[in-house]
Structure 1
Amino acid sequence: MTELHGRPAAGPPRGDLRDPAGLAPDQRALYDAITQGPRGTETGRIPLTDEAGRLLGPFDVMLLAPRIGDAVQRVGVAVRFGGFATRTRELAILTVAAAIGSGFEWWSHEPAALAAGISTAQLQQLLDGEVPDGLDERERAVVRFAGVMARDRRLRDEEFAEAKRVLGREDLAVLTWLVGYYGMLGLALEVFAPPNPLSPPED
């Protein structure tokens, strides 16, 4: 598998993952919405919990402010299941993960990308900041412009015109929200630094 470790952590985790047995009612409702909603159908490809049933990564952070966390996870469901086809979506997500250095998002989405037919060679090209070989015109546009938006936080006039030509306004909007959503998750991971399944166990 390809590897993306992201920026070095500033220090150890800034808190423990929350035990499901100790959640308040509003946290438990959010936990159930995440684990029993559409994401639950992808269990095994995109991990949601550890072996103790604790939410991983940004999902654990969502429990800190459950009302807002629920709104955020609903946006994620819409982006994940109401937008692009799986292969195109995973290309976009991993482009963002590579651009912002989010090792957790790369780790959690790489299996889904491989299952969708994206090769390890193509994943390596994404990590290298390249548009992978073997993509069709729409996929190339998704990778190119997701990378630009994640890195530069904008599209220049000529880039917007080209993205709109290839994708259309609606799918360009879908891509824009996807980039923003995964950028937000990356920020949450940087700020709260939940325990990372990528980190080696302590002695």
Structure 2
Amino acid sequence: MKPAIMRLIQICAFTLGMASLTMAQTPPTPGEPKRFPQITLEQLPPDARPLGEEIIAISSVGLGGPYNVMLRSPVFADRMKRLLDYLRFNTSLPTRLNEFAILIQGKVWSSQVEWYAHYPLALKAGLPQQVADDLKSGIRPRDMKPDEAVVYDVSMEMIQNHQISDALFQKSKAILGEQQLVDLVAVSGTYVTVAMLLALGQEMPPAGKPLPFPPK
């Protein structure tokens, strides 16, 4: 069978399985306390309070979301925030592609908070809404630009095969360059960690906001 046909079959099979790849991250059972009660600045150890203040200054959810879980391990939280500072604000990837990569992991993990937080950021950065909405629907986004298609294909092959083909590597390097390709994989893996932390704490969007992935 021709490589192009094999590639098409792989993409179609993976796309068809996207909707059932994971269950939606579910909120706490009604009436049950949060796994990690919301931490406050005053509850942090004195040497971690400057970190808490930094987070409050930049975070739309304050010390909520992943920070509420991360701050149970203050040294880890500090290291993780430094990494996120680079991957969010100083990465070599254009913001449009960076946010697309985060949304892909948000979809794969059905991460309520990741999608809620990053969907508007992706659109603001210039990702076409149809691309984001197709991703959320579990289909290969239509009409992607060449660099968006590379982000999608690299992310999906890494998720499915835990590696990428030589052909995709060469294509990705030609379109993104070496540094952007490395930063793409770095942000993707980091937001898997974020999604897992959110799942651990059953962290959800703010009260009253609809869940991006309603539990089935």
Give the TM-score, by structure 1 length.
Answer: 0.78
The aligned counterpart of 1:52 is none
The aligned counterpart of 2:116 is 107
Residue 94 of structure 1 contacts residue 105 of structure 1 at CA under 8 Å; is this kept in 2? yes
Distance (whole Å) between structure 1 residues aligned to residue 67 and residue 47 of structure 2: 14
Residue 100 of structure 1 contacts residue 151 of structure 1 at CA under 8 Å; is this kept in 2? no
The aligned counterpart of 2:103 is 94
Compared CA separation, residues 35 and 149, structure 1 to 2 (3 A): farther
Compared CA separation, residues 193 and 115, structure 1 to 2 (3 A): same
The aligned counterpart of 2:24 is 6
Please tell me the residue identity of whatever aligns with 1:30. L
Compared CA separation, residues 121 and 198, structure 1 to 2 (3 A): farther
Distance (whole Å) between structure 2 residues aligned to residue 156 and residue 100 of structure 1: 23
Please tell me the residue identity of whatever aligns with 1:70. D
The aligned counterpart of 2:11 is none
Compared CA separation, residues 188 and 151, structure 1 to 2 (3 A): farther
SS in 1 for 2:24: coil
The aligned counterpart of 1:48 is 61
**Cα-to-partner distance string for 1:103-129 (whole Å, 9 max, x where unaligned):** 110001111122223343222111134
The aligned counterpart of 1:123 is 132
Compared CA separation, residues 170 and 136, structure 1 to 2 (3 A): same
Aligned partner of 1:64 among 65, 72, 76: 72
**Cα-to-partner distance string for 1:105-157 (whole Å, 9 max, x where unaligned):** 00011111222233432221111344433432112111221233244433233
Aligned partner of 1:73 among 77, 81, 84: 81
Instruction: State the identity as a percent.
Output: 27
Please tell me the residue identity of whatever aligns with 1:57. G
The aligned counterpart of 2:144 is 135
Structure 1, gaps ≥5 residues long: 50-54
Q: Which structure would you say has the larger Rg?
A: 2
Aligned partner of 2:94 among 85, 88, 101: 85
Distance (whole Å) between structure 1 residues aligned to residue 149 and residue 109 of structure 2: 19
Compared CA separation, residues 75 and 151, structure 1 to 2 (3 A): farther
Residue 99 of structure 1 contacts residue 151 of structure 1 at CA under 8 Å; is this kept in 2? no
Please tell me the residue identity of whatever aligns with 1:20. L
CA drift of 1:60 comes to 1.2
Residue 114 of structure 1 contacts residue 120 of structure 1 at CA under 8 Å; is this kept in 2? yes
CA drift of 1:10 comes to 7.2
CA drift of 1:15 comes to 2.0
Distance (whole Å) between structure 1 residues aligned to residue 95 and residue 189 of structure 2: 18
The question of 1:16 aligning with 2:37 is answered: yes
Structure 2, gaps ≥5 residues long: 1-22, 210-216
* Stretch of structure 1 that moved more, 105-114 or 7-16: 7-16
Compared CA separation, residues 179 and 119, structure 1 to 2 (3 A): same
The aligned counterpart of 2:50 is 29
Residue 150 of structure 1 contacts residue 179 of structure 1 at CA under 8 Å; is this kept in 2? no
The CA RMSD measured in Å over matched residues stands at: 2.4
CA drift of 1:30 comes to 1.7
Distance (whole Å) between structure 2 residues aligned to residue 145 and residue 199 of structure 1: 35
Distance (whole Å) between structure 2 residues aligned to residue 33 and residue 137 of structure 1: 37
CA drift of 1:197 comes to 2.5
Give the TM-score, by structure 2 length.
Answer: 0.74
